[in-house]
Amino acid sequence: MTDTGIPDHFEILERWGRGLQMLHVAHNIASERFNLRNRVTGITTAMLSAAVGTTLFASLSTSGLAAIREVAGAASLLTAALSAGQLVWNYPELASRHRAAAVRYATLRRQVDLRLARQDQVTEADVDATSSEWEEIERWAPQLPIGVRRRARREIARIPQRGLSTVPEHRA
């Protein structure tokens, strides 16, 4: 802190480094979450499609079982809804965009760590460069769900903080 009470460049970058860490971890979590949702909906849709086909085939051969046809009809509707949902939710693209954001935040975190390593040489240009890059990432990064941000904060809180450069990469 300067004599006027204004944070110096080093303190600003140190604080920003913590924010970048949270965003890096959160985008990794979001990427993993959307990958999981994609797998679950894909597997569920495939299983329901197989069950519907089998059930319809069986109900045709035993035409007196109305309950089987009703269950098959409901499963058929659910399968169609999940198939449509996969197109609308677009989990693979969301996962990819969050992963790309996580990589860019990780890169910026490393740059901040390198700048902080030169404690007595951190300048306004370092702060400006970090700010510009961060703003560029924010322009195209997908929005994070609130729950993902909360989980990222909890995960970071469990990591012993000895300095930004000693924080391990998120691998949950």
- pLDDT, residue 57, reads 66
Q: Distance between CA 20 and CA 110 in Å, rounded?
A: 10
pLDDT mean values, one per 10 residues, the chain (172 residues):
67 95 97 94 85 70 67 80 81 96 98 92 94 97 96 93 49 42
- pLDDT, residue 171, reads 44
Indicate the pTM of the whole model.
Answer: 0.75
Sorted by where each begins, the domain ranges of the chain are 15-158
User: SS in 3 state form for 110-164?
Assistant: HHHHHHHHCHHHCCHHHHHHHHHHHHHHHHHCCCCCHHHHHHHHHHHHCCCCCCH
Give the DSSP per-residue string, 49-88: HHHHHHHHHHHHHTTT-HHHHHHHHHHHHHHHHHHHHHHH
- pLDDT, residue 101, reads 98
pLDDT, tens digit, 9 for 90 and up, residues 46-65: 888 887 777 766 666 665 66
